[in-house]
Amino acid sequence: MKKMRILVLMVLILLCVSGCASDVSTDTSTNTSKPVHDISYTTIFVDYETNVMYTWYKSGYGAGMSVMLNADGTPKLYDETASKYTNVYDITYTTIFVDHETNVMYTWYKSGYGAGMSVMLNADGTPKLYDETASKYTNIYDITYTTIFVDYETNVMYTWYKSGYGAGMSVMLNADGLPKLHN
C-alpha cells in the first residue's frame, strides 16, 4: 500500500510539473506544441517619417530585425496614444544603408554580438526611398559597404552587413517593390 501511495504521488508531481510550462502554446491548426512569445518583449523601432514599426530581438549571440506587418500584409504603423509597447525607439538610432542605384533604404542595428537588417517600407508598403534634401537621417551609408549576395537561380540580390560578431541580411528591392535582380 505504501508503494502505491508513493507511485500515485510521483505521478501527480509529474503531471503538475508537466502542466506548468509557461512559454508553450498549442497551435490548433497543426495540433503541435511550440514556443510562442509576445512581440512586446522585443525592441521596437519606429521610423517617425512613416510611422512604420520594426522589431528587433537579441538572445545570446543571435539577433534579427524585421519590418512589422498587419494581418493583411500592410506595414504596422505606430500610434503612440494606442500602443501597448513600452520599449519604442526612434529608428535614427540604427544604421541606415541606401542603395544609390534604386534609393531604397535599409535599417541595420547591432547590440553586443547580435545584429539584424531589414528593408525599410513606407506606410503603403512600398520601399522607402532616400531623399537627401528631405531626410532627417544623418547616419547614411552606401550599400556598397555591405556584402551583396545573389541567388543565381532567380538573380535576386541580398544585402548582408557584419560588424564585429553581429550580422544581418535583407532581400534587396527596386523602387517599385519588386526584388532587385543581378544583371
Q: Do the beta carbons of residue 97 and residue 146 sit within 8 Å?
A: yes
Which sequence spans correspond to the domains of the chain? 2-35, 39-171
pLDDT of residue 25: 43
Buried/exposed 104-139: b ≥16 CB within 10 Å, e otherwise: bbbbbbbeeebbbbbbbbbeeeebbebeeeeeebee
pLDDT of residue 32: 64
Q: Do the beta carbons of residue 89 and residue 44 sit within 8 Å?
A: yes
What is the C-alpha separation between 51 and 74, in angstroms, rounded? Answer: 12
pLDDT in tens, the chain (183 residues): 555 454 444 444 444 434 444 444 444 555 567 788 888 889 999 999 999 999 999 988 899 999 999 999 999 999 999 999 888 999 999 999 999 999 999 999 999 999 999 999 999 999 999 998 888 888 899 999 999 999 999 999 999 999 999 999 999 999 999 999 998
Which residues are CB-neighbours of 156 under 8 A, at least 6 positions away?
150, 171, 172, 179, 180, 181, 182
pLDDT of residue 178: 96
Which residues are CB-neighbours of 97 under 8 A, at least 6 positions away?
105, 106, 107, 108, 117, 140, 141, 142, 143, 145, 146, 159, 161
pLDDT of residue 2: 54
- How many alpha carbons lie under 13 Å from residue 108 in its C-beta half-sphere? 25
**pTM, rounded to two decimals:** 0.79
User: Can you list the alpha helix ranges (DSSP code H) found in the chain?
Assistant: 2-18
Q: Do the beta carbons of residue 119 and residue 67 sit within 8 Å?
A: yes
pLDDT of residue 143: 96
The residue behind cell 547580435 is 114
